[in-house]
Structure 1
């Protein structure tokens, strides 16, 4: 194997690891109410489209939308699965299945499932989201659902967002 082939294979592996981290960081940022982590995964001109929950353009708009979501849904738990990522040089696209359990202060406990459609770019050596769009498959109120153990409950106040 020549050095060029080895270099291309290493770049593909490092790119995939960076993109996998972005997908995980998105979930962790929303679930832990971590504005600093959320800010770090978007390019300045990125967009986030969550039909039924909001749409934002630009990193600052995405952070503002997240802060509104955290006030409305102080408890979120995302699970991302089955990422299908296609990398072409400094650009990539992907789809990721998602389930999210959250407590909406108006609707109560709700489960949301769907598919994220993502675009990523590597700029100045850093991979970040260019766009993320959610395709809602279902939103299911969990009537009479009440946690009976754990560090979170529907009555605990959410922590303040961590600023970056």
Structure 2
């Protein structure tokens, strides 16, 4: 294997790792109610589209939309799975399966599942989201769901 091939393979692995980290950081930012982390994931012209939950443009708009949702859904637990990532130079796309359990202050416990459609770009050496759109598969209220052990955050749920 020549040096050029080895460098290309290393760049592909580093890009994939950076993109997977963005996907995980997104879930963590929402679950931890962390606007500072959420802000770092997007390029300035990015768009987040969560049909039924809102849309945000640019990091500030995305954080504002998230803050609106955090008021309505103060407890979230995201699971991201099965990322299919395609990288072509400094542009990448992905689909990511998602399952989220959250407590809606009006509906109570709800499970949401679907698929994220993502676009990323590497600019000035940094991978960030340029677009993320959620395709809802199921929104299921969990009537009579009560945790029997775990976080004190769910006391009284």
With the shorter chain as reference, the TM-score category is over 0.9
* Structure 1 Cα separation of the partners of residues 73 and 92 of structure 2: 31
1:119 alignment counterpart: 119
1:145 alignment counterpart: 145
What is the root-mean-square deviation in Å for CA atoms of aligned residues?
Answer: 1.0
- SS of the aligned residue for 2:149 comes to coil
Shift of 1:58: 1.0
Pair 1:31-2:31 in alignment: yes
- SS of the aligned residue for 1:87 comes to strand
* Structure 2 Cα separation of the partners of residues 81 and 44 of structure 1: 26
1:160 alignment counterpart: none
CA contact (8 A) 2:95 2:118 kept: yes
Gaps of 5+ in 1: 157-164
Gaps of 5+ in 2: none
Shift of 1:155: 3.8
CA contact (8 A) 2:46 2:131 kept: yes
CA offsets per residue over residues 1-34 of structure 1, 9 Å max, x none? Answer: 1111111100000000000000000000000001
- The ranges of structure 1 where at least 4 consecutive aligned residues each deviate by more than 2 angstroms after the TM superposition are none
2:102 alignment counterpart: 102
Aligned length: 156
Distance 1:119 1:154, change over 3 A: farther
2:42 alignment counterpart: 42
Please report the TM-score for the alignment, with normalisation by the length of structure 2: 0.97
1:69 alignment counterpart: 69
* Structure 2 Cα separation of the partners of residues 117 and 110 of structure 1: 22
* Structure 1 Cα separation of the partners of residues 55 and 61 of structure 2: 9
* Structure 2 Cα separation of the partners of residues 65 and 155 of structure 1: 26
